[in-house]
Amino acid sequence: MAEKVQISIDGRTVDLPTLVASEGANVVDVRGLIAEGIYTYDPGFLSTASCDSEITYIDGGAGILMYRGYPIEQLAKQSNHLEVCHLLLNGELPSPAEYDALVKSIADNQDVDEQYQQLFNGFSQGAHPMAMVGAAVSGLAALHHEDTDITVHEDRVKTAHRLIAKIPTIAAMAFRHGAGKSFIAPDPSLGYAENFLNMCFGDERDISPTIAKAMDRIFILHADHEQNASTSTVRMAGSTDCNPYAAISAGISALWGPAHGGANEAVLDMLNEIGDESKVEEYVAKAKDKDDPFKLMGFGHRVYKNFDPRAKVMEESCHEVLEELGAEDEPLLKLAKRLETIAREDDYFIERNLYPNIDFYSGITLQAVGIPTNLFTVIFTLGRMPGWISHWHEMLSAPYKIARPRQLYLGSNARDYVAIDQR
Ligand code: CMC
Protein backbone atom coordinates (compact mmCIF):
# COMPACT_ATOMS: atom_id res chain seq x y z
CA MET A 1 0.00 0.00 0.00
CA ALA A 2 1.24 3.51 -0.80
CA GLU A 3 2.59 5.37 2.19
CA LYS A 4 3.34 8.99 2.80
CA VAL A 5 6.74 10.45 3.51
CA GLN A 6 6.97 13.61 5.56
CA ILE A 7 9.83 16.05 5.26
CA SER A 8 10.45 19.09 7.42
CA ILE A 9 12.45 21.99 6.12
CA ASP A 10 12.81 25.54 7.43
CA GLY A 11 10.03 24.90 9.97
CA ARG A 12 7.57 23.66 7.34
CA THR A 13 6.35 20.09 6.97
CA VAL A 14 5.47 18.68 3.56
CA ASP A 15 3.68 15.37 2.92
CA LEU A 16 4.95 13.46 -0.09
CA PRO A 17 3.08 10.46 -1.53
CA THR A 18 4.87 7.26 -2.53
CA LEU A 19 4.23 5.56 -5.85
CA VAL A 20 4.02 1.77 -5.92
CA ALA A 21 6.20 -0.19 -8.36
CA SER A 22 4.95 -3.44 -9.95
CA GLU A 23 8.41 -4.90 -9.10
CA GLY A 24 11.22 -3.50 -6.99
CA ALA A 25 11.49 -0.27 -5.06
CA ASN A 26 8.60 2.14 -4.60
CA VAL A 27 9.47 5.81 -5.08
CA VAL A 28 8.78 9.01 -3.19
CA ASP A 29 6.94 11.45 -5.43
CA VAL A 30 8.79 14.75 -4.89
CA ARG A 31 6.99 16.69 -7.61
CA GLY A 32 5.02 18.67 -5.03
CA LEU A 33 8.21 20.17 -3.61
CA ILE A 34 8.56 22.75 -6.38
CA ALA A 35 5.41 24.51 -5.12
CA GLU A 36 7.20 24.85 -1.76
CA GLY A 37 10.28 26.32 -3.45
CA ILE A 38 12.34 23.23 -2.57
CA TYR A 39 14.53 21.23 -4.95
CA THR A 40 16.11 17.83 -4.34
CA TYR A 41 19.85 17.32 -4.92
CA ASP A 42 20.99 14.09 -6.60
CA PRO A 43 24.05 14.43 -8.88
CA GLY A 44 24.33 11.46 -11.22
CA PHE A 45 20.67 10.62 -10.45
CA LEU A 46 21.75 7.83 -8.07
CA SER A 47 18.53 8.13 -6.02
CA THR A 48 16.23 9.45 -8.73
CA ALA A 49 13.60 7.64 -10.79
CA SER A 50 13.52 9.95 -13.81
CA CYS A 51 10.34 8.45 -15.27
CA ASP A 52 7.95 5.55 -15.01
CA SER A 53 8.42 2.77 -17.53
CA GLU A 54 6.93 -0.62 -18.38
CA ILE A 55 9.79 -1.83 -20.54
CA THR A 56 12.66 -3.33 -18.53
CA TYR A 57 13.19 -4.43 -14.93
CA ILE A 58 16.53 -5.08 -13.25
CA ASP A 59 17.15 -6.52 -9.78
CA GLY A 60 20.91 -6.26 -9.43
CA GLY A 61 21.09 -8.11 -6.12
CA ALA A 62 19.17 -11.12 -7.43
CA GLY A 63 20.79 -11.04 -10.90
CA ILE A 64 17.45 -10.47 -12.68
CA LEU A 65 16.97 -8.71 -16.01
CA MET A 66 13.54 -8.87 -17.64
CA TYR A 67 12.20 -7.30 -20.83
CA ARG A 68 8.44 -6.71 -20.46
CA GLY A 69 8.45 -9.37 -17.71
CA TYR A 70 10.29 -12.05 -19.71
CA PRO A 71 13.60 -13.21 -18.13
CA ILE A 72 16.60 -12.41 -20.30
CA GLU A 73 17.82 -16.03 -20.13
CA GLN A 74 14.60 -17.28 -21.79
CA LEU A 75 14.67 -14.60 -24.46
CA ALA A 76 18.36 -15.17 -25.24
CA LYS A 77 17.88 -18.93 -25.54
CA GLN A 78 14.45 -19.20 -27.15
CA SER A 79 13.72 -15.96 -28.99
CA ASN A 80 15.55 -13.89 -31.59
CA HIS A 81 16.48 -10.23 -31.82
CA LEU A 82 13.64 -9.14 -34.12
CA GLU A 83 11.08 -10.79 -31.85
CA VAL A 84 12.68 -8.97 -28.91
CA CYS A 85 12.49 -5.68 -30.87
CA HIS A 86 8.73 -6.20 -31.27
CA LEU A 87 8.41 -7.10 -27.58
CA LEU A 88 10.28 -4.01 -26.39
CA LEU A 89 8.41 -1.68 -28.72
CA ASN A 90 4.89 -3.06 -28.34
CA GLY A 91 4.85 -4.74 -24.93
CA GLU A 92 3.97 -8.24 -26.15
CA LEU A 93 5.66 -10.99 -28.12
CA PRO A 94 4.49 -10.88 -31.75
CA SER A 95 1.86 -13.22 -33.17
CA PRO A 96 3.08 -15.15 -36.26
CA ALA A 97 1.39 -12.57 -38.51
CA GLU A 98 2.90 -9.66 -36.60
CA TYR A 99 6.32 -11.27 -36.74
CA ASP A 100 6.09 -11.80 -40.52
CA ALA A 101 5.00 -8.19 -40.96
CA LEU A 102 7.99 -6.99 -38.91
CA VAL A 103 10.44 -9.15 -40.88
CA LYS A 104 9.03 -7.69 -44.10
CA SER A 105 9.16 -4.14 -42.83
CA ILE A 106 12.79 -4.56 -41.74
CA ALA A 107 13.72 -6.11 -45.10
CA ASP A 108 11.99 -3.22 -46.93
CA ASN A 109 13.87 -0.59 -44.92
CA GLN A 110 17.42 -2.00 -44.81
CA ASP A 111 18.83 0.03 -47.68
CA VAL A 112 20.25 3.46 -47.01
CA ASP A 113 20.14 6.36 -49.42
CA GLU A 114 22.78 6.08 -52.18
CA GLN A 115 24.28 9.38 -51.11
CA TYR A 116 25.25 7.71 -47.84
CA GLN A 117 28.26 6.24 -49.61
CA GLN A 118 29.48 9.84 -50.04
CA LEU A 119 28.91 10.52 -46.35
CA PHE A 120 31.24 7.65 -45.40
CA ASN A 121 33.77 8.66 -48.06
CA GLY A 122 33.92 12.07 -46.38
CA PHE A 123 35.58 10.41 -43.37
CA SER A 124 39.22 9.36 -43.29
CA GLN A 125 39.76 5.60 -43.23
CA GLY A 126 41.05 5.79 -39.66
CA ALA A 127 37.99 7.68 -38.35
CA HIS A 128 36.46 6.04 -35.28
CA PRO A 129 33.42 4.03 -36.42
CA MET A 130 31.28 5.48 -33.60
CA ALA A 131 31.82 8.95 -35.10
CA MET A 132 30.69 7.67 -38.51
CA VAL A 133 27.69 5.79 -37.12
CA GLY A 134 26.57 8.78 -35.02
CA ALA A 135 26.81 11.07 -38.05
CA ALA A 136 24.99 8.61 -40.31
CA VAL A 137 22.09 8.13 -37.88
CA SER A 138 21.89 11.86 -37.30
CA GLY A 139 21.86 12.29 -41.10
CA LEU A 140 18.65 10.25 -41.33
CA ALA A 141 16.97 13.29 -39.77
CA ALA A 142 17.70 15.16 -43.01
CA LEU A 143 15.97 12.46 -45.05
CA HIS A 144 13.01 11.99 -42.72
CA HIS A 145 12.15 15.33 -41.21
CA GLU A 146 9.10 16.47 -43.13
CA ASP A 147 7.55 12.99 -43.27
CA THR A 148 7.85 12.26 -39.51
CA ASP A 149 5.14 13.52 -37.18
CA ILE A 150 6.22 12.43 -33.71
CA THR A 151 2.70 12.94 -32.33
CA VAL A 152 1.37 10.18 -34.60
CA HIS A 153 1.71 6.60 -33.29
CA GLU A 154 2.16 5.10 -36.79
CA ASP A 155 4.97 7.55 -37.60
CA ARG A 156 6.77 6.62 -34.40
CA VAL A 157 6.52 2.91 -35.24
CA LYS A 158 7.70 3.61 -38.79
CA THR A 159 10.69 5.49 -37.34
CA ALA A 160 11.47 2.56 -35.05
CA HIS A 161 11.38 0.09 -37.95
CA ARG A 162 13.59 2.32 -40.09
CA LEU A 163 16.20 2.63 -37.35
CA ILE A 164 16.20 -1.08 -36.44
CA ALA A 165 16.46 -1.94 -40.16
CA LYS A 166 19.14 0.58 -41.12
CA ILE A 167 21.49 0.39 -38.14
CA PRO A 168 23.10 -2.92 -39.27
CA THR A 169 23.65 -1.43 -42.74
CA ILE A 170 25.18 1.73 -41.28
CA ALA A 171 27.33 -0.26 -38.83
CA ALA A 172 28.60 -2.53 -41.60
CA MET A 173 29.35 0.50 -43.80
CA ALA A 174 31.45 1.97 -40.98
CA PHE A 175 33.33 -1.33 -40.69
CA ARG A 176 33.92 -1.65 -44.45
CA HIS A 177 35.02 1.98 -44.76
CA GLY A 178 37.54 1.48 -41.93
CA ALA A 179 38.82 -1.69 -43.60
CA GLY A 180 39.20 0.15 -46.94
CA LYS A 181 36.70 -2.18 -48.61
CA SER A 182 33.67 -1.51 -50.79
CA PHE A 183 30.23 -1.78 -49.23
CA ILE A 184 28.13 -4.94 -49.45
CA ALA A 185 24.39 -4.34 -49.93
CA PRO A 186 21.90 -5.80 -47.42
CA ASP A 187 20.38 -9.16 -48.36
CA PRO A 188 16.70 -9.22 -47.31
CA SER A 189 16.62 -13.03 -47.56
CA LEU A 190 19.00 -13.37 -44.57
CA GLY A 191 18.21 -13.25 -40.86
CA TYR A 192 18.93 -10.02 -38.97
CA ALA A 193 22.33 -10.95 -37.48
CA GLU A 194 23.33 -13.05 -40.49
CA ASN A 195 22.66 -10.11 -42.81
CA PHE A 196 24.80 -7.82 -40.66
CA LEU A 197 27.68 -10.31 -40.66
CA ASN A 198 27.26 -10.84 -44.38
CA MET A 199 27.53 -7.08 -45.00
CA CYS A 200 30.79 -7.16 -42.98
CA PHE A 201 32.43 -10.37 -44.21
CA GLY A 202 30.27 -11.75 -47.06
CA ASP A 203 33.01 -11.33 -49.69
CA GLU A 204 35.45 -13.46 -47.63
CA ARG A 205 33.47 -16.24 -45.99
CA ASP A 206 30.10 -17.86 -45.41
CA ILE A 207 28.40 -16.91 -42.17
CA SER A 208 27.95 -19.99 -40.01
CA PRO A 209 24.70 -20.47 -38.03
CA THR A 210 26.73 -20.68 -34.76
CA ILE A 211 28.31 -17.28 -35.35
CA ALA A 212 25.03 -15.71 -36.54
CA LYS A 213 23.33 -17.07 -33.40
CA ALA A 214 26.06 -15.68 -31.14
CA MET A 215 25.76 -12.26 -32.77
CA ASP A 216 21.96 -12.33 -32.47
CA ARG A 217 22.39 -13.20 -28.78
CA ILE A 218 24.77 -10.26 -28.28
CA PHE A 219 22.06 -8.01 -29.78
CA ILE A 220 19.34 -9.46 -27.50
CA LEU A 221 21.49 -9.16 -24.38
CA HIS A 222 22.27 -5.51 -25.13
CA ALA A 223 18.77 -4.56 -26.33
CA ASP A 224 17.75 -2.65 -23.20
CA HIS A 225 18.96 -1.88 -19.69
CA GLU A 226 16.32 0.57 -18.39
CA GLN A 227 17.35 4.17 -17.61
CA ASN A 228 21.11 3.94 -18.29
CA ALA A 229 23.07 7.00 -19.48
CA SER A 230 22.41 6.64 -23.22
CA THR A 231 18.72 5.78 -22.83
CA SER A 232 18.25 8.69 -20.44
CA THR A 233 20.02 10.87 -23.03
CA VAL A 234 17.58 9.75 -25.73
CA ARG A 235 14.64 10.51 -23.43
CA MET A 236 16.08 13.89 -22.47
CA ALA A 237 16.81 14.94 -26.06
CA GLY A 238 13.47 13.50 -27.22
CA SER A 239 11.61 15.46 -24.53
CA THR A 240 12.37 18.63 -26.52
CA ASP A 241 10.28 17.14 -29.40
CA CYS A 242 13.37 17.08 -31.59
CA ASN A 243 13.65 14.86 -34.63
CA PRO A 244 13.87 11.22 -33.40
CA TYR A 245 17.00 10.44 -35.43
CA ALA A 246 18.68 13.39 -33.71
CA ALA A 247 17.57 12.09 -30.29
CA ILE A 248 18.93 8.62 -31.07
CA SER A 249 22.24 10.03 -32.28
CA ALA A 250 22.52 11.86 -28.93
CA GLY A 251 22.16 8.43 -27.28
CA ILE A 252 24.88 7.03 -29.56
CA SER A 253 27.22 9.80 -28.40
CA ALA A 254 26.48 8.99 -24.75
CA LEU A 255 27.07 5.28 -25.32
CA TRP A 256 30.52 5.92 -26.81
CA GLY A 257 32.15 6.75 -23.45
CA PRO A 258 34.37 4.11 -21.80
CA ALA A 259 32.26 4.30 -18.64
CA HIS A 260 29.26 3.04 -20.63
CA GLY A 261 29.56 1.19 -23.94
CA GLY A 262 33.34 1.06 -24.12
CA ALA A 263 33.97 -1.69 -21.55
CA ASN A 264 34.15 -4.67 -23.95
CA GLU A 265 36.81 -2.79 -25.93
CA ALA A 266 38.69 -2.31 -22.63
CA VAL A 267 38.67 -6.10 -22.09
CA LEU A 268 40.60 -6.63 -25.30
CA ASP A 269 42.96 -3.75 -24.56
CA MET A 270 43.67 -5.37 -21.19
CA LEU A 271 44.27 -8.81 -22.73
CA ASN A 272 46.66 -7.24 -25.23
CA GLU A 273 48.42 -5.39 -22.43
CA ILE A 274 48.87 -8.60 -20.41
CA GLY A 275 50.13 -10.11 -23.63
CA ASP A 276 51.16 -13.54 -22.40
CA GLU A 277 49.72 -16.29 -20.23
CA SER A 278 52.82 -16.23 -18.05
CA LYS A 279 51.97 -12.67 -17.00
CA VAL A 280 48.45 -13.45 -15.74
CA GLU A 281 49.44 -13.94 -12.08
CA GLU A 282 51.36 -10.66 -12.13
CA TYR A 283 48.29 -8.76 -13.43
CA VAL A 284 45.92 -10.47 -11.00
CA ALA A 285 48.24 -9.31 -8.19
CA LYS A 286 48.13 -5.76 -9.64
CA ALA A 287 44.31 -5.89 -9.70
CA LYS A 288 44.28 -6.85 -6.00
CA ASP A 289 46.81 -4.19 -4.99
CA LYS A 290 44.99 -1.17 -3.48
CA ASP A 291 47.89 1.10 -4.48
CA ASP A 292 47.66 0.08 -8.13
CA PRO A 293 44.83 1.59 -10.23
CA PHE A 294 44.75 -1.47 -12.52
CA LYS A 295 41.46 -3.41 -12.52
CA LEU A 296 40.52 -6.57 -14.31
CA MET A 297 38.34 -5.28 -17.15
CA GLY A 298 35.25 -7.40 -17.70
CA PHE A 299 34.97 -8.31 -14.01
CA GLY A 300 32.41 -6.93 -11.54
CA HIS A 301 29.32 -4.81 -12.10
CA ARG A 302 27.78 -1.71 -10.52
CA VAL A 303 24.26 -3.13 -10.53
CA TYR A 304 24.62 -6.93 -10.62
CA LYS A 305 26.23 -7.76 -7.29
CA ASN A 306 25.87 -11.56 -7.35
CA PHE A 307 26.07 -12.42 -11.01
CA ASP A 308 25.39 -10.82 -14.38
CA PRO A 309 22.49 -12.84 -15.88
CA ARG A 310 23.60 -11.79 -19.38
CA ALA A 311 27.11 -13.16 -18.81
CA LYS A 312 25.83 -16.69 -18.17
CA VAL A 313 24.17 -17.02 -21.59
CA MET A 314 26.96 -15.12 -23.33
CA GLU A 315 29.53 -17.50 -21.86
CA GLU A 316 27.71 -20.39 -23.55
CA SER A 317 27.77 -18.67 -26.96
CA CYS A 318 31.37 -17.62 -26.48
CA HIS A 319 32.49 -21.23 -25.98
CA GLU A 320 30.38 -22.43 -28.95
CA VAL A 321 32.01 -19.84 -31.22
CA LEU A 322 35.55 -20.56 -30.00
CA GLU A 323 35.00 -24.28 -30.47
CA GLU A 324 33.62 -23.92 -33.98
CA LEU A 325 36.43 -21.60 -35.03
CA GLY A 326 39.01 -23.84 -33.37
CA ALA A 327 40.17 -20.65 -31.68
CA GLU A 328 40.39 -21.99 -28.13
CA ASP A 329 44.15 -22.39 -28.44
CA GLU A 330 44.80 -18.89 -29.75
CA PRO A 331 47.20 -17.17 -27.33
CA LEU A 332 44.92 -14.25 -26.46
CA LEU A 333 41.94 -16.48 -25.83
CA LYS A 334 43.96 -18.97 -23.80
CA LEU A 335 45.11 -16.02 -21.76
CA ALA A 336 41.48 -14.94 -21.24
CA LYS A 337 40.51 -18.44 -20.07
CA ARG A 338 43.42 -18.55 -17.65
CA LEU A 339 42.41 -15.18 -16.24
CA GLU A 340 38.81 -16.34 -15.86
CA THR A 341 39.91 -19.50 -13.98
CA ILE A 342 42.24 -17.66 -11.60
CA ALA A 343 39.71 -14.93 -10.86
CA ARG A 344 36.97 -17.49 -10.19
CA GLU A 345 39.20 -19.36 -7.69
CA ASP A 346 40.89 -16.44 -5.95
CA ASP A 347 39.45 -15.38 -2.56
CA TYR A 348 39.79 -11.67 -3.40
CA PHE A 349 37.37 -12.02 -6.33
CA ILE A 350 35.09 -14.55 -4.61
CA GLU A 351 34.67 -12.40 -1.48
CA ARG A 352 33.84 -9.29 -3.54
CA ASN A 353 31.54 -11.12 -5.98
CA LEU A 354 33.76 -10.17 -8.90
CA TYR A 355 32.78 -12.60 -11.64
CA PRO A 356 33.21 -12.13 -15.40
CA ASN A 357 30.49 -9.80 -16.76
CA ILE A 358 28.85 -9.73 -20.21
CA ASP A 359 31.64 -7.59 -21.64
CA PHE A 360 34.23 -10.22 -20.85
CA TYR A 361 32.47 -12.86 -22.95
CA SER A 362 31.12 -10.57 -25.67
CA GLY A 363 34.59 -9.00 -26.09
CA ILE A 364 36.22 -12.42 -26.53
CA THR A 365 33.45 -13.59 -28.89
CA LEU A 366 33.65 -10.49 -31.08
CA GLN A 367 37.44 -10.76 -31.25
CA ALA A 368 37.18 -14.42 -32.32
CA VAL A 369 34.62 -13.54 -35.01
CA GLY A 370 37.01 -10.97 -36.51
CA ILE A 371 35.30 -7.77 -35.37
CA PRO A 372 37.96 -5.08 -34.76
CA THR A 373 37.97 -3.71 -31.21
CA ASN A 374 37.06 -0.18 -32.31
CA LEU A 375 33.79 -1.62 -33.69
CA PHE A 376 32.72 -3.20 -30.38
CA THR A 377 30.75 -0.15 -29.22
CA VAL A 378 29.08 -0.04 -32.64
CA ILE A 379 27.86 -3.61 -32.05
CA PHE A 380 26.48 -2.40 -28.71
CA THR A 381 24.77 0.47 -30.57
CA LEU A 382 23.20 -2.00 -32.96
CA GLY A 383 21.88 -4.11 -30.10
CA ARG A 384 20.64 -1.16 -28.02
CA MET A 385 18.69 0.49 -30.85
CA PRO A 386 15.29 -1.14 -30.02
CA GLY A 387 15.72 -0.15 -26.35
CA TRP A 388 16.39 3.49 -27.15
CA ILE A 389 13.55 3.78 -29.64
CA SER A 390 11.11 1.94 -27.34
CA HIS A 391 11.85 4.35 -24.48
CA TRP A 392 11.41 7.32 -26.82
CA HIS A 393 8.12 5.85 -28.09
CA GLU A 394 6.91 5.11 -24.55
CA MET A 395 7.70 8.66 -23.41
CA LEU A 396 5.85 10.23 -26.33
CA SER A 397 2.86 7.92 -25.91
CA ALA A 398 1.82 9.57 -22.62
CA PRO A 399 1.90 13.15 -21.31
CA TYR A 400 5.50 14.25 -20.70
CA LYS A 401 7.44 17.39 -19.91
CA ILE A 402 10.68 18.71 -21.32
CA ALA A 403 13.50 17.41 -19.10
CA ARG A 404 14.84 20.45 -17.27
CA PRO A 405 16.74 19.68 -14.05
CA ARG A 406 17.55 22.45 -11.59
CA GLN A 407 20.83 22.97 -9.74
CA LEU A 408 22.42 23.83 -6.43
CA TYR A 409 24.07 27.16 -7.31
CA LEU A 410 27.45 27.64 -5.63
CA GLY A 411 28.81 30.50 -7.75
CA SER A 412 29.42 34.19 -7.00
CA ASN A 413 26.78 36.36 -5.40
CA ALA A 414 25.59 39.35 -7.44
CA ARG A 415 28.41 41.78 -8.23
CA ASP A 416 29.00 44.73 -10.56
CA TYR A 417 30.77 44.58 -13.89
CA VAL A 418 34.32 45.99 -13.83
CA ALA A 419 35.66 47.64 -17.00
CA ILE A 420 38.63 45.79 -18.57
CA ASP A 421 41.12 48.63 -17.91
CA GLN A 422 40.25 48.55 -14.21
CA ARG A 423 40.80 44.79 -13.60
N1 CMC B 1 39.23 -5.73 -10.56
C2 CMC B 1 39.74 -5.71 -9.30
N3 CMC B 1 39.09 -5.26 -8.22
C4 CMC B 1 37.84 -4.81 -8.41
C5 CMC B 1 37.24 -4.80 -9.67
C6 CMC B 1 37.97 -5.29 -10.78
N7 CMC B 1 37.43 -5.30 -11.99
N8 CMC B 1 36.00 -4.30 -9.57
C9 CMC B 1 35.81 -4.00 -8.28
N10 CMC B 1 36.93 -4.31 -7.56
C11 CMC B 1 37.09 -4.20 -6.12
C12 CMC B 1 37.21 -2.77 -5.65
O13 CMC B 1 38.56 -2.35 -5.65
C14 CMC B 1 36.60 -2.86 -4.27
O15 CMC B 1 37.56 -3.43 -3.41
P16 CMC B 1 37.57 -3.04 -1.83
O17 CMC B 1 36.23 -3.46 -1.29
O18 CMC B 1 38.72 -3.81 -1.27
O19 CMC B 1 37.78 -1.56 -1.79
C20 CMC B 1 35.48 -3.89 -4.44
O21 CMC B 1 35.90 -4.71 -5.52
C22 CMC B 1 34.12 -3.26 -4.74
O23 CMC B 1 34.25 -2.50 -5.93
P24 CMC B 1 33.51 -1.14 -6.25
O25 CMC B 1 34.46 -0.25 -6.98
O26 CMC B 1 32.87 -0.61 -5.01
O27 CMC B 1 32.39 -1.62 -7.19
P28 CMC B 1 31.57 -0.66 -8.10
O29 CMC B 1 30.17 -1.16 -8.09
O30 CMC B 1 31.78 0.76 -7.74
O31 CMC B 1 32.23 -0.87 -9.53
C32 CMC B 1 32.60 -1.59 -11.74
C33 CMC B 1 31.70 -1.70 -10.50
C34 CMC B 1 31.93 -2.33 -12.90
C35 CMC B 1 32.79 -0.12 -12.15
C36 CMC B 1 33.95 -2.25 -11.39
O37 CMC B 1 33.74 -3.58 -10.98
C38 CMC B 1 34.91 -2.19 -12.56
O39 CMC B 1 35.56 -1.18 -12.78
N40 CMC B 1 35.01 -3.30 -13.37
C41 CMC B 1 35.88 -3.32 -14.51
C42 CMC B 1 35.23 -2.58 -15.67
C43 CMC B 1 34.11 -3.35 -16.34
O44 CMC B 1 34.24 -4.52 -16.65
N45 CMC B 1 32.99 -2.66 -16.60
C46 CMC B 1 31.86 -3.23 -17.33
C47 CMC B 1 30.70 -3.50 -16.47
S48 CMC B 1 29.34 -4.19 -17.45
C49 CMC B 1 28.86 -2.88 -18.47
C50 CMC B 1 27.37 -2.66 -18.59
O51 CMC B 1 26.55 -3.33 -17.98
O52 CMC B 1 27.01 -1.73 -19.35
- Helix 263-274 vs helix 331-345: crossing angle, to nearest 10: 100
Return the residue whose CA atom lies nearest to atom 52 of ligand 1: 260
Per-residue pLDDT of the chain (423 residues; tens, 9 = 90+): 568 899 998 888 999 999 999 999 999 999 999 998 899 999 999 999 999 999 999 999 999 999 999 999 999 999 999 999 999 999 999 999 999 999 999 999 999 988 889 999 999 999 999 999 999 999 999 998 888 999 999 999 999 999 999 999 999 999 999 999 999 999 999 999 999 999 999 999 999 999 999 999 999 999 999 999 999 999 999 999 999 999 999 999 999 988 888 888 888 999 999 998 889 999 999 999 999 999 999 898 878 888 889 998 999 999 999 999 998 787 887 888 889 898 889 999 999 989 888 988 999 999 999 999 999 999 999 999 999 999 999 999 999 999 999 999 999 999 999 999 999
Please indicate whether residue 300, judged by its CB atom, sits closer than 6 Å to ligand 1: yes
In angstroms, what is the span from residue 135 Cα to ligand 1's centroid? 32
CB 360 within 8 A of CB 299: yes
In angstroms, what is the span from residue 300 Cα to ligand 1's centroid? 5
The residue whose CB lies within 8 Å of the most ligand 1 atoms, and thus the one to mutate among 72, 290, 295, 347, is 295
Return the residue whose CA atom lies nearest to atom 12 of ligand 1: 352
Please indicate whether residue 381, judged by its CB atom, sits closer than 6 Å to ligand 1: no
Return the residue whose CA atom lies nearest to atom 19 of ligand 1: 290
Domain segments of the chain as ranges: 4-49, 54-394
Give the ranges where 256-301 is alpha helix by DSSP (H).
263-274, 280-288
- The residue among 258, 253, 219, 261 whose CA lies nearest residue 234 is 253
Q: Which CATH fold topology does 54-394 show?
A: Citrate Synthase; domain 1 (1.10.580)
Q: What percent of the chain has pLDDT over 90?
A: 81
Could you give the residue numbers annotated as active site? 301, 359
Per-residue pLDDT tens digits for 206-241: 999 999 999 999 999 999 999 999 999 999 999 999
What is the DSSP secondary structure assignment for residue 28, as one 8-state letter? E
CATH for 4-49 (2.20.28.60, 3.30.565.10, 3.90.1150.10, 2.60.40.10)? 2.20.28.60
In angstroms, what is the span from residue 391 Cα to ligand 1's centroid? 28
CB 402 within 8 A of CB 236: no
Q: Which are the contacts of 79, defined by CB distance < 8 A and separation ≥ 6?
A: 70, 87, 93, 220
What is the DSSP secondary structure assignment for residue 255, as one 8-state letter? H
Look up the pTM and report it: 0.93
Residue 334: phi, psi to the nearest 5? Answer: -65, -40
Return the residue whose CA atom lies nearest to atom 47 of ligand 1: 301
In angstroms, what is the span from residue 91 Cα to ligand 1's centroid? 33
* Rounded to 5°, angle at Cα 383 from 260 and 95: 140
Distances (CA, A) of 378 to 51, 152, 234, 418: 27, 30, 17, 50
What are the residues facing 14 on neighbouring strands?
7
In angstroms, what is the span from residue 334 Cα to ligand 1's centroid? 23
Question: Can you tell me the distance from the alpha carbon of 228 to that of 51, in angstroms, rounded to the nearest whole number?
Answer: 12
Return the residue whose CA atom lies nearest to atom 30 of ligand 1: 302
Question: Can you tell me the distance from the alpha carbon of 298 to that of 267, in angstroms, rounded to the nearest whole number?
Answer: 6
Q: Which are the contacts of 100, defined by CB distance < 8 A and separation ≥ 6?
A: none
